[in-house]
Amino acid sequence: MLRELIQPVWKIPKGKVATYGEVARAAGYPRYARQVAWALRAAHGAIPWHRVVGAGGHIKLRGAPGMEQRLRLENEGVTFRGRRIHMRMHEFHFKAKRKRVL
């Protein structure tokens, strides 16, 4: 399941972000936002983890990792309004999955 949870992260382009909850929904596991965070941590930086943020555009990491995430996002052109990401400009919307008709 870890691999399935982080698969949508690869779809987030540079300069865009998605919330933990949106990544979970895109993976087909709504309400698994915390598990997305754990899966990203387990991946040890092998994916673009910095493009996943908390609800409302908050960086949830504390200290040096949070500053690294902010710097990586700023290098990709993501703008902030105080401590929050300007989500109207930078939020990535996953394409809706089609429901199967049986």
pTM (2 decimals)? 0.89
Q: What is the pLDDT of residues 87-99, one digit of tens each?
A: 999 999 998 765 5
pLDDT tens per residue, range 24-74: 999 999 999 999 999 999 987 789 999 999 999 999 999 999 999 999 999
CATH number 3.40.1160.10 given to 2-90: no
- Domain residue ranges in the chain: 2-90
For residue 73, which of 56, 53, 93, 54 has the smallest C-alpha distance? 53
